[in-house]
Amino acid sequence: MEKSLSFKQAHRRSLKDILKKYWQLYLLFIPVVVWYVLFSYKPMLNVTIAFKKFSVIRGIAGSPWVGWDNFNQMFAAPMFWRAFRNTLIISAQNLVFGFPAPIIFALLLNEISAPKFKKTVQTISYLPHFISWSVAGGLVYMLLSLNTGTINNVIAALGGQPQNFIGMNSAFRKIVVVSGIWKSLGWSAIVYLAAITGVDEQLYDAAYIDGAGRMARLWHVTLPGIRSTISVMLILQVGNILSVNFDQIYILLNEMVYETGETLDYYIYRVGLYSTNNFSMATAVGLIKSLIGFVLVLGTNLITKRMTDGEGGIW
Give me the residues paired with residue 65 across strands: 52
Q: Are residues 10 and 156 in the same domain?
A: no
On whether residue 102 sits in a domain, the answer given is yes
Is there a domain that residue 146 lies in?
yes
Helix axes of 115-126 and 100-110: crossing angle, nearest 10 degrees: 160
Residues 45-95 pLDDT 10s: 888 888 998 888 888 888 899 989 989 999 999 999 999 999 999 999 999
CA–centroid distance for 16 within its chain: 36
Q: Is the pLDDT of residue 9 over 70?
A: no
**Same domain, residue pair 16 and 102:** no
- Do 20 and 85 fall within a single domain? no
* Sequence-separated (6 or more) residues with CB below 8 Å from residue 242: 84, 87, 88, 91, 264, 289, 292, 293
Same domain as 182, residue 271: yes
Is 312 part of a structural domain of the chain? Answer: no
Percent of the chain residues topping a pLDDT of 90:
34
**pLDDT tens by residue, 205-244:** 888 888 888 888 888 888 888 888 888 888 888 888 888 8
20/120 same-domain check? no
Looking only at Cα atoms, what is the longest distance across the chain?
A: 89
The three-state secondary structure class of 52 is strand
> Considering the domain boundaries, does residue 54 fall inside one?
no
R_g (Cα) of the chain, nearest Å: 25
Q: How confident is the model at residue 1 (pLDDT cuts 50, 70, 90)?
A: very low
Give me the amino acid identity at 111. Answer: E
Q: Based on the structure, what is the number of domains in the chain?
A: 2
> Does residue 122 contact residue 206 with C-beta atoms inside 8 Å?
no
Half-sphere exposure of 201 (CA within 13 A, CB side): 1
**Quick check: is 52 in a domain?**
no
11 CB neighbour count, 10 Å cutoff: 10
Residue count (the chain): 315
| pLDDT band with cut points at 50, 70 and 90 for residue 315 | low
- For residue 5, pLDDT over 50 is answered with no
Domain that holds residue 38: 1-42
